[in-house]
Chains A and B, each alone.
Chain A
Amino acid sequence: MSKQLRINPIACGGHGLCAELLPELITLDEWGYPVLASQQVPPGLEREARRAVASCPALALLLSAVR
């Protein structure tokens, strides 16, 4: 069962921790907001993705299982 990342743009305050912890999937745009390279999380990055989700101060990064 693979995992998908989503960003809640209303909650997101551009803190930027997600991009530091998951640079393979998340980069910051010129205003400091996260850009998702892809929604799919490769199995090797699942732990880092969960860590990024837990560290977002605004709880704006979401990880869900894909049915």
Chain B
Amino acid sequence: MTTRGTSLLIAGSPRPGGQPAQLPRLLPADGRQAGLPAHLDQHGPLPYRGGPGRLIPDVTESGLTGRGGAAFPVGRKLTAVAAAGRRPVVVANGAESEPLSAKDKTLLRYSPHLVLDGLQLAAEAVGARRTVLYLHADLALRDQLIGLLSERRSGGLDRADVEVVAAPPRFLSGQETAAVNVINGGAAVPAFTPPRTFERGVGGQPTLVQNVETLAHLALIARYGAAWFRGIGTADEPGSMLCTIRQADGSSAVAEAALGTPLRDLLGFPGHVQAVLVGGYHGGWLPAGRAERLALSDAGLRPSGASAGAGVLAALPAAACGLAEMARVARYLALESAGQCGPCLNGLPRIATALAELSGSRPDGCVIADLERWAGLVEGRGACHHPDGAMRFVRSGLQVFAGEIRSHQQGMCTAAAGRAFLPVPAGPGSENDWRMPR
């Protein structure tokens, strides 16, 4: 079943003892968009707990962590915002500005009511009366959600107000403080912390920012309980997660898998895969041979320098030139810098240019040394993790594609001539791109 090039498939790890698989949870089993009556039919009414704080112990017990990439324990975040003492705001972060990721858009298209339920439940849990649905700039999706919201409101389902805000088309739009800036009427650029958003965010109030997938899981935990949530996945990383999988042939799909699922089950690994990018453009490269033996979890991936993150997996075909791909993405990452911090705005473009040279023929001998020096100057010296993530992408790539580097130094490239593989949004745009007209 395909929708705009992204197909829906369900995956899961087989459970010992022959228990029925608990998948899919978030994505509809029949692959159809769930309308409100069907949603309420399947999952029952919105289980409000009748007061702030009552849902939080269940969430903490479930071990749910954020599905936006940082994997922060949700129970702890809810507690911090609820304890802040002033009227908080909840933001459902559906910006999904990572070009390789499509899971949030897919979730919002196929199971929007789970997300909206989770948003209401999170609002009740922290005592918020105002919420914001922060969305990737897609007019069709936005109109659809506005329609659903008014349907829910007239059905008396939603108690907290939901404002829909479009995210500017920039890579940093989904960053927590940048999102808050946009909602406050500013540009999609990160802010210096402290104060953290859970202390001061939208309108100066304590703000809970959660990825839309996290809220969908929360809506299910509220109905079926923490023990149910822990029924799949691993003991340390329970539950399921959505993954965006880009195969070596260019096709891409969104799948729901239990934490701990072997990457082999998700990517297939046909013979012509040379490397796997785990975690998108802030993630880490792994050689195909190693990736084949790893599982989708932080425990499985961290020893190799990657993490489960937001579930972005891309298999690079052998026919592509890893260095050329890296150079293109690095240039994109440089142009997506907010330009606020000296090290990032100076280092990233220089690194991108050096990578471009490295991906050419017979690069200068000092290019690698320059790259090493600049990477060291850029890491940890920005207000946000954009330079850090970019360096993870670059450093891991330099390791994985070391053989390709040696070939280029001798004037050869092992790749076949072909189209670019990793998607990079077009053009640097203008100053206006950083803000959205309301």
Contact = CB atoms under 8 A, between A and B. Distances in A.
Interface in A5-48: 7-14, 29-33, 35
B186 to A, nearest CB: 13
A14 B191 CA distance: 18
A31 B344 CA distance: 11
Nearest to B346: A31
B377 interface: yes
A18 to B, nearest CB: 13
Interface stretch (B66-74, B335-343, B410-418): B335-343
Contacts of A31: 342-343, 346-347
B381 A9 contact: yes
Contacts of B344: 9
A4 to B, nearest CB: 13
Nearest to A14: B342
Interface string B357-398: 000000000000000000001000111000000000000000
Interface residues of A, number: 14
Given A29-B377, A30-B377, A10 B343 contact: no
Contacts of B343: 9, 29, 31, 33
B341 A10 contact: yes
For A7, A14, A32, A33, which residue has the most chain B Cβ atoms within 10 angstroms?
A: A33
A13 B339 CA distance: 12
Contacts, number: 36
Interface in A46-62: none
Nearest to A8: B192
A10 B377 contact: no
B385 to A, nearest CB: 12
A33 B347 CA distance: 11
Nearest to B190: A10
B377 A12 contact: no
B381 A10 contact: no
Given A8-B192, A9-B192, A10-B191, A32 B342 contact: yes
A31 B381 CA distance: 13
Contacts of B192: 8-11
Given A29-B377, A30-B377, A33-B381, A12 B341 contact: yes
Nearest to A60: B192
Nearest to B377: A29
Contacts of A35: 377, 381
Given A10-B192, A11-B192, A33 B342 contact: yes
Contacts of B381: 7, 9, 33, 35
A9 B382 contact: yes
A10 B383 CA distance: 7
Interface of B: 191-192, 340-344, 346-347, 377, 381-383
Given A12-B342, A29-B343, A33-B381, 18 more contacts: A7-B381, A8-B192, A9-B342, A9-B343, A9-B382, A9-B383, A10-B191, A10-B192, A10-B340, A10-B383, A11-B192, A30-B377, A31-B346, A33-B342, A33-B343, A33-B346, A35-B377, A35-B381
Q: Which 3 A-B pairs have the closest CB atoms?
A: A9-B341, A33-B342, A31-B346
